[in-house]
């Protein structure tokens, strides 16, 4: 056992100066290597502080506690300095950037190109979504249907002069490339439970020469609503609400008489022109109105053929073309683009 | 259809209370759209009736005349005139200095001033019909009727407003193809008085010596329900009075002579077409017969065209030739000329369907056929010819030469409909009283009868809500209650019906599975870089040939627009190939798809053609083997999206109809649970060249009807395990031609519970040898697997593969 005198005051001074030295030499730490040297020098097994800590037990009781706590505090402080420096050093190491790494953020990549959804499809989905929210079911039509479903069952019996208004494509077996999606009306009336609320979006055909305003192939949305006590006003309300949602604008509707054999009363519905908000423009021919769809109260004969008693139930039906709405929305000048497959066209939507 | 405002005013004395715009709006809102209002002869100004007093040769010209005219009988006005027909003692149209007339038939306007013509002063101009905007005639000045008052304001007389009524929407309203019909509608719309002249009081008794008027009806009563005719003699063919020329020319009818003009005028007035036969030109005993045409019988019509008839057409013939195609157009031989002295005036009612068909077959439409096609009231024939006769006798001393002929075996009678006023109110969400409804219908000349006392003396009696309405014979379109609902609504005013929403229960609509699937596929494929296109459902024979498809399985269009649009497509692929061809010059790399029904010639038990929903995708973004693997990657992606396990099979030949479109060695089938879902692969170079396509194309097709049977399967969750997964890689030499699916199916069929996954890590060919490295991963839900446990399974698998598929484990 050493008898050499331990001078507590000297040790306390030593601790203080060690701390001071550590603080000042920490400023020299530049890299991993100097950090390691610093750690070894002040915190290592052979460091002065370690040897002081080892000797604490040799002091008399009076000083043991003081020196112990002082040296531990010093160690903690130096450790903190080392930690701080270590973050600094690490940051320095990984932020050693160079101009050579420069990347042009404006350069196009094109590695994950997105395709485009056809504008008519987008509009059809919007239409389906609004009507579904309003409680309508959806049914799609066939492309080819028989005379009964396309004509007879919607009160257009054979020989009816109004049939001529539909320029019809006939197939070799006397069936029809459907002229309207009313081709599903009889099936809907027969197969859905009352009250009936159904829309029928789908492809239709008219045998006519094409030009920027006319297409032999187009998309129609037929709608059918049958319940007890349904009035013409309900039709106006339902369609008004739909178009307000569709155009996200406050829109008024106007009904003017027209003749369609499948409805009575029947007419055309016009909307406030969505381009000029009813002020009058080129598209609405200065009238402030756009004639957009044919509609009316379902003819009692049509209800009867669908197995529904017209004395108990009434209903309304309508049909409008989607391409017209897309053309209005985007100011498209030629209806033939829709079926052209032109990618320059599709990729704009 | 053009409707003259002045003409309407004759029947509607109060019409001028409304502006032209209000009238147009009223018609548009309650009958049919007025597309345009035209101010006819707006520019005519300061044109009056003058009398020519003297005509002399112009001192300095051989062609010009020097005239003196008067507009008041006293003052003489000197006018230089170049017209060959200028003559003293005639009434003419004089444009005074400061006035304006038309310079040509394009409605360019000239101002007239006092000028010197070859040194002689001319204080105005005598006008030709063209200068007055009446027609194209500029061969001489217009000679007015003798009894017209001099000084009368011709500009005012000739001006008019014309409403262009869209007539498609009144194709069920034959009665509205006339001025009287439109006037009747306006009287109801505006609640104003409608005054119609009554012809029934006129007696039609022949005055002089009677002639023979023999007409025989040899067709079914259905085809000719009425035939009325008058024999009129002592005719003097000359121009019509200016007021009639003004009316006719305002609505686009060219004035010709008094007889032709009167038949046109009466038709535009009543809607009842008339026809006049020159009696002296008829053969033999001058009798007419209504009969069916003989097959291939020929007639030269008024327009000097030779028409070939068929046995379905009804004609009016004399003993030798056809003199008119019933309801469509008269024959040239017996047509009215300036020498006509005696004529038979016909007003008949022809069956609308027959007229429509004949008119279509002949490709010949006329003002008459347009009206007969809509259906005309047979009760109009007599008033119409009576009116025509009165006009003729007023204008030209005409006299009746025989008793009138009137064939009308089954007179059309007023029909009665029972009308429940509650039904009307229900359909319109209104609460109109019985009286209000009766009033509305009365405005339309629909009379109502009710058994209820109208004075309200018996309040305790249950009042009947049913009224009996009498439908006039000119309204054959009104047959059922709903027809009257429309009548009430349009006169009440559609704009007075407030929009409201139906009350409905809270049952949510169903998800429409086709729509849902189409949306899933569309959004995913576009996210994978493919563009959605739409194309025609019709293709041509050449497209079938070019894509090696069997056209016999396709449904043909009987009346196609063009040969390239004459057959329903049985597959979307030919359309995609054409779209690719049209894009390849402007877009370098693309992927396109379409979702649509395809149509088969085959029919189902209901006689409906089989029309499956299909998707087809065509992609040229990758070359060589990548073209194939890209398509496969897309399919795998869709399989995960839909949670439907697609199975892929090799097939060099397949019953799939478009199999011939694919490269025979780069082609696979897609199945689900042994059902054939689709095909995929690389487009055959031969087909590519048929469509002039450059580069490699990957392609797939799926039948969505089949796919729909398997969608919406619930996800089966497996609990996560904490025990590690251990992977072993094994390399084998494998026989040429062996499919990966044979290996995976064999391994899977052994049901190793600990085998979690089997994947291909690497694959390459070395001359005639082919190597595959399989990566097998193992995991237990109960414990950490030991090496020896895994070794056992691996060697079992290796043995099985070696034995059954001749896989040779490669030494490392």
Over the stretch B33-68, which tens digit does the pLDDT of each residue have?
A: 999 999 999 999 999 999 999 999 999 998 999 999
For β-strands B415-420 and B466-471, DSSP reports them as: antiparallel
Q: What is the pLDDT of residue A59?
A: 85
Integer angstrom CA distances of residue A32 from A45, A86, A88, B275, B304: 19, 8, 10, 116, 111
For B657-675, what is the mean pLDDT? 92
B322 token code pair? 């056809």
Q: What is the pLDDT of residue B46?
A: 96
**Neighboring chain B residues of A116 at a CB cutoff of 8 Å:** 526, 531-532
User: Measured at the alpha carbon of residue A246, what is the angle toward residues A242 and A247, in degrees to the nearest 5?
Assistant: 125
CA separation for the pair B505, B508 (Å, rounded): 9
CA separation for the pair A217, A177 (Å, rounded): 10
CA separation for the pair B478, B444 (Å, rounded): 12
Smallest Cα distance from B596 to chain A, Å = 9
Q: Give yes or no for a contact between B386 and B204, defined as CB atoms under 8 angstroms apart.
A: yes
Q: What is the pLDDT of residue B85?
A: 94
Q: Is B673 left (phi over 0), alpha (psi -120 to 50) or beta?
A: left
CA separation for the pair A288, B775 (Å, rounded): 70
Smallest Cα distance from B34 to chain A, Å = 11
Task: Give the chain A residue nearest B592 (alpha carbons).
Answer: A115
Q: Give yes or no for a contact between B151 and B124, defined as CB atoms under 8 angstroms apart.
A: no
Q: Cβ of A146 and B483 within 8 Å?
A: no
What's CA A285's distance to the chain center, in Å?
35
Smallest Cα distance from A337 to chain B, Å = 10
Q: What is the pLDDT of residue B674?
A: 87
- Best A176, A343, A348 residue to mutate vs chain B (most B CBs within 10 Å): A343
Integer angstrom CA distances of residue B63 from B27, B88, B94, B117, B142: 52, 17, 19, 12, 18
CA separation for the pair A218, A207 (Å, rounded): 11
**Neighboring chain B residues of A347 at a CB cutoff of 8 Å:** 531
Cite the beta strand spans of chain A per DSSP E: 137-138, 144-145, 169-170, 176-177, 196-205, 217-227, 253-257, 263-272, 289-298, 314-321
CA separation for the pair A144, A169 (Å, rounded): 10
**Neighboring chain B residues of A217 at a CB cutoff of 8 Å:** 536-538
Q: Cβ of B555 and A225 within 8 Å?
A: no
Task: Render pLDDT for B604-653 as a digit per residue (tens, 0 to 9).
Answer: 999 999 999 999 999 999 998 899 999 999 999 999 999 999 999 988 77
Task: Render pLDDT for A161-171 as a digit per residue (tens, 0 to 9).
Answer: 677 777 899 99
CA separation for the pair B704, A151 (Å, rounded): 29
Task: Render pLDDT for B217-274 as a digit per residue (tens, 0 to 9).
Answer: 999 999 999 999 999 999 999 999 999 999 999 999 999 999 999 999 999 999 999 9
Residue among B170, B522, B599 whose CB faces A117 most closely: B522
Output the CA torsion sign for B214, B218, B220, B224: negative
Task: Give the chain B residue nearest A256 (alpha carbons).
Answer: B29
Residue among A137, A171, A230 whose CB faces B556 most closely: A171
Q: What is the pLDDT of residue B463?
A: 65
Task: Render pLDDT for A198-222 as a digit per residue (tens, 0 to 9).
Answer: 999 999 999 999 999 999 999 999 9
Q: Cβ of B526 and A216 within 8 Å?
A: no
**Neighboring chain A residues of B568 at a CB cutoff of 8 Å:** 143-144, 171, 177
Q: What is the pLDDT of residue B226?
A: 97
pLDDT band at A2 (very low <50, low <70, confident <90, very high): very low
**Neighboring chain A residues of B531 at a CB cutoff of 8 Å:** 115-116, 343, 346-347
Task: Render pLDDT for B410-428 as a digit per residue (tens, 0 to 9).
Answer: 999 899 999 999 999 999 9
State pTM to two decimals.
0.84
DSSP class per residue in B180-235:
HHHHHHHHHHHT--------TT------SS-----EEE-S-TTTEEEEEEEEEES-
Residue among B509, B556, B597 whose CB faces A137 most closely: B509
Q: What is the pLDDT of residue B460?
A: 44
Check whether B16 has a pLDDT greater than 70. yes
Other Cβ atoms closer than 10 A to B324 = 28
For β-strands B120-122 and A196-205, DSSP reports them as: unpaired
Q: Of B728, B809, B731, which Cα lies nearest the Cα of B773? A: B731
Q: Cβ of B504 and A164 within 8 Å?
A: no
Q: Cβ of B490 and A257 within 8 Å?
A: yes
Q: Give yes or no for a contact between B302 and B292, defined as CB atoms under 8 angstroms apart.
A: no
Q: What is the 3-state secondary structure (H, E, C) of A178-219?
A: CCCHHHHHHHHHHHCCCCEEEEEEEEEECCCCCECCECCEEE
Catalytic positions of A are 166, 180, 206, 220, 263, 317
Q: Give yes or no for a contact between B682 and B618, defined as CB atoms under 8 angstroms apart.
A: no
Q: Cβ of B29 and A256 within 8 Å?
A: yes
Residue among B428, B509, B536 whose CB faces A135 most closely: B509
Residue among A161, A233, A338 whose CB faces B499 most closely: A233
Q: Cβ of B482 and A299 within 8 Å?
A: yes
Q: What is the pLDDT of residue A3?
A: 44
DSSP secondary structure letter of residue A299 = P
Task: Render pLDDT for A5-58 as a digit per residue (tens, 0 to 9).
Answer: 678 888 889 899 999 999 999 888 888 899 999 999 998 988 888 888 888 888
**Neighboring chain A residues of B505 at a CB cutoff of 8 Å:** 195
Task: Render pLDDT for B369-416 as a digit per residue (tens, 0 to 9).
Answer: 999 999 899 999 999 999 999 999 887 778 899 999 999 999 998 999
Task: Render pLDDT for B40-49 as a digit per residue (tens, 0 to 9).
Answer: 999 999 999 9
Residue among B427, B558, B592 whose CB faces A172 most closely: B558
Smallest Cα distance from A103 to chain B, Å = 26
DSSP class per residue in B630-697:
HHHHHHHHHHHHHT---EEEE-SS-SSTTGGGEEEEEEEEEEETTEEEEEEEEE-HHHHHHTT--S--
Mean pLDDT over all residues of chain B? Answer: 92
B71 token code pair? 């507009």
End-to-end CA distance of chain B: give it in Å, rounded: 94
- Best B170, B522, B532, B612 residue to mutate vs chain A (most A CBs within 10 Å): B532
Task: Render pLDDT for B677-690 as a digit per residue (tens, 0 to 9).
Answer: 999 999 999 999 99
Q: Give yes or no for a contact between B695 and B589, defined as CB atoms under 8 angstroms apart.
A: no
DSSP secondary structure letter of residue B490 = H
Q: What is the pLDDT of residue A199?
A: 98
Q: Cβ of B532 and A117 within 8 Å?
A: yes
Q: Give yes or no for a contact between A211 and A176, defined as CB atoms under 8 angstroms apart.
A: no
- The better pLDDT of the pair B751, A193 is held by A193
Element (H, E) at B746: helix B740-749
CB pairs under 8 A between A and B: 234
Q: Cβ of A161 and B537 within 8 Å?
A: no
* Residue owning tokens 């005519």: B44
Check whether B531 has a pLDDT greater than 60. yes
Burial of B812 (0-12, 13-18, 19+ CB in 10 A): exposed
What are the strands of the beta sheet with B726-734, ordered from one edge?
B755-766, B769-778, B726-734, B808-809
For A79-106, what is the mean pLDDT? 88
Q: What is the pLDDT of residue A99?
A: 85
Other Cβ atoms closer than 10 A to B250 = 24
Q: Of B379, B395, B135, which Cα lies nearest the Cα of B271? A: B379
Q: Cβ of A115 and B494 within 8 Å?
A: no
Q: Give yes or no for a contact between B38 and B161, defined as CB atoms under 8 angstroms apart.
A: yes
Q: What is the pLDDT of residue A1?
A: 42
């Amino acid at each position: 056992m050493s008898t050499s005198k331990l001078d507590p005051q000297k040790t306390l001074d030593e601790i203080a100066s060690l701390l001071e030295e550590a603080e000042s030499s920490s400023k020299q730490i530049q890299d991993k290597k100097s950090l390691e040297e610093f750690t070894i020098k002040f915190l290592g097994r052979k460091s002065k502080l370690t040897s002081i800590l080892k000797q604490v037990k040799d002091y008399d009781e009076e000083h043991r506690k003081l020196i112990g706590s002082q040296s531990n505090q010093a160690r903690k402080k130096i450790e903190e300095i080392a930690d701080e420096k270590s973050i600094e050093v690490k940051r320095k190491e990984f932020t050693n950037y160079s101009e050579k790494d420069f990347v042009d953020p404006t350069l196009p990549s094109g590695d994950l190109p997105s395709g485009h959804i056809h504008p008519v499809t987008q509009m059809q989905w919007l239409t389906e979504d609004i009507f579904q929210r309003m409680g309508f079911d959806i049914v799609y039509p066939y492309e080819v249907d028989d005379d009964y479903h396309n004509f007879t069952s919607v009160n257009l019996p054979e020989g009816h002069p109004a049939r001529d208004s539909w320029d019809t494509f006939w197939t070799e077996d006397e069936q029809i490339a459907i002229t309207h999606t009313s081709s599903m009306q009889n099936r809907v009336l027969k197969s859905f439970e009352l009250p009936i609320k159904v829309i029928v979006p789908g492809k239709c055909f008219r045998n006519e020469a094409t030009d920027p305003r006319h297409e032999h192939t187009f998309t129609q949305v037929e709608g059918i609503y049958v319940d007890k006590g349904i009035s013409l006003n309900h039709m106006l309300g339902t369609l008004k609400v739909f178009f307000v949602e569709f155009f996200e604008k406050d829109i008024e509707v106007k009904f003017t008489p027209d003749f369609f054999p499948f409805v009575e009363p029947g007419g055309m519905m016009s909307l406030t022109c969505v381009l000029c908000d009813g002020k009058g423009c080129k598209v609405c021919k200065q009238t402030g109105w756009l004639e957009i769809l044919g509609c009316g109260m379902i003819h009692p004969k049509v209800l009867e053929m669908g197995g529904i008693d017209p004395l108990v139930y009434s209903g309304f039906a309508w049909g409008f073309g989607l391409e017209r709405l897309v053309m209005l929305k985007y100011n498209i000048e030629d209806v033939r683009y829709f079926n052209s497959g032109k990618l320059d066209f599709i990729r704009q939507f | 259809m053009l409707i003259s405002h002045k003409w309407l005013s004759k029947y509607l004395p109060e019409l001028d209370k409304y502006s032209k715009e209000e009238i147009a709006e009223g018609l548009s809102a309650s009958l049919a759209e007025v597309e345009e209002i035209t101010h006819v002869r707006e520019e005519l100004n300061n044109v009056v009736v003058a009398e020519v007093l003297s005509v002399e040769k112009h001192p300095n010209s051989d062609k010009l005349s020097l005239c003196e005219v008067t507009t008041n009988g006293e003052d003489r006005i000197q006018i230089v005139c170049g017209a060959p027909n200028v003559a003293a003692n005639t009434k003419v149209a004089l444009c005074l200095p400061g006035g304006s007339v038309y310079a040509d038939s394009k409605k360019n306007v000239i101002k007239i001033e006092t000028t010197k013509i070859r040194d002689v002063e001319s204080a105005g101009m005598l006008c030709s019909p063209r200068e007055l905007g009446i027609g194209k005639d500029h061969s001489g000045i217009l000679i007015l009727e003798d009894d017209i008052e001099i000084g009368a304001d011709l500009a005012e007389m000739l001006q008019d407003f014309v409403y262009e009524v869209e007539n498609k929407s009144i194709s069920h309203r034959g009665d509205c193809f006339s001025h009287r019909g439109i006037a009747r509608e306006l009287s109801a719309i505006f609640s104003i008085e409608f005054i119609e002249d009554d012809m029934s009081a006129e007696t039609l008794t022949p005055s002089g010596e009677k002639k023979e008027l023999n007409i025989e009806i040899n067709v079914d009563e259905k085809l000719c329900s009425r035939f009325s005719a008058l024999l009129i003699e002592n005719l003097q063919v000359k121009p019509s009075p200016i007021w009639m020329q003004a009316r006719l020319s305002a609505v686009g009818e060219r004035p010709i002579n008094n007889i032709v003009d009167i038949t046109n005028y009466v038709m535009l007035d009543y809607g009842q077409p008339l026809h006049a036969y020159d009696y002296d030109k008829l053969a033999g005993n001058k009798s007419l017969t209504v009969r069916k045409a003989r097959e291939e019988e020929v007639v030269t019509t008024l327009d000097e065209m030779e028409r070939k008839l068929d046995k379905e057409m009804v004609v009016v013939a004399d003993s030798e030739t056809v003199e008119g195609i019933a309801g469509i157009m008269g024959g040239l031989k017996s047509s009215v000329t300036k020498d006509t002295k005696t004529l038979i005036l016909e007003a008949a009612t022809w069956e609308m369907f027959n007229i429509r068909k004949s008119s279509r077959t002949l490709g010949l439409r006329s003002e008459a056929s347009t009206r007969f096609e809509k259906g005309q009231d047979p009760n109009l024939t007599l008033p119409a010819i009576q009116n025509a006769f009165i006009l003729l006798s007023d204008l030209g001393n005409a006299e009746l030469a025989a008793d009138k002929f009137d064939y009308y075996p089954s007179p059309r009678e007023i029909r009665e409909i029972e009308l429940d006023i509650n039904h009307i109110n229900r359909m319109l969400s209104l609460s109109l009283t019985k009286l209000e409804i009766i009033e509305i219908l009365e405005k339309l000349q629909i009379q109502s009868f009710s058994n209820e006392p109208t004075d309200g003396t018996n309040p305790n009696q249950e009042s009947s809500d049913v009224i009996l309405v009498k439908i006039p014979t000119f309204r054959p379109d009104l047959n059922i209650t709903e027809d009257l609902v429309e009548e009430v609504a349009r006169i009440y005013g559609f704009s007075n019906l407030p929009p409201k929403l139906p009350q409905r229960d809270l049952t949510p609509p169903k998800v429409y599975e086709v729509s849902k699937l189409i949306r899933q596929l569309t959004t995913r494929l576009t996210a994978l870089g493919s563009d959605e296109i739409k194309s025609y459902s019709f293709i041509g024979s050449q497209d079938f040939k070019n894509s090696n498809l069997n056209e016999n399985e396709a449904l043909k269009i009987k009346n196609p627009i063009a040969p390239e649009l004459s057959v329903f497509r049985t597959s979307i692929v030919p359309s995609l190939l054409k779209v690719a061809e049209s894009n390849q010059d402007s877009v370098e790399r693309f992927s396109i798809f379409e979702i649509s029904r395809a149509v088969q010639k085959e029919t189902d038990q209901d006689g409906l053609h089989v029309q499956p929903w299909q998707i087809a995708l065509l992609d040229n973004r990758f070359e060589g083997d990548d073209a194939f693997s890209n398509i496969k990657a897309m399919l795998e992606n869709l399989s995960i999206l839909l949670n439907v396990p697609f199975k892929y099979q090799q097939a060099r030949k397949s019953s799939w109809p478009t199999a011939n479109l694919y490269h025979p060695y780069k082609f696979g089938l897609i199945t689900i649970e042994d059902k054939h879902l689709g095909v995929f692969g690389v487009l055959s170079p031969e087909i590519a060249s048929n469509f002039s396509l450059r580069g490699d194309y990957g392609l797939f097709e799926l039948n969505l009807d089949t796919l729909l049977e398997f969608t919406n399967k619930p996800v089966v969750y497996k609990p996560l395990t904490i025990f590690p997964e251990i992977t072993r890689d094994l390399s084998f030499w494998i026989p040429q031609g062996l499919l990966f699916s044979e290996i995976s199916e064999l391994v899977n069929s052994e049901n190793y519970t600990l085998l979690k996954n089997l994947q291909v890590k690497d694959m390459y060919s070395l001359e005639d040898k082919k190597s595959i490295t399989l990566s097998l991963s193992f995991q237990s839900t109960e414990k950490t697997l030991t090496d020896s446990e895994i070794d056992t399974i691996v060697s079992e698998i290796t043995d099985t593969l070696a034995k059954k598929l001749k896989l040779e484990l490669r030494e490392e």
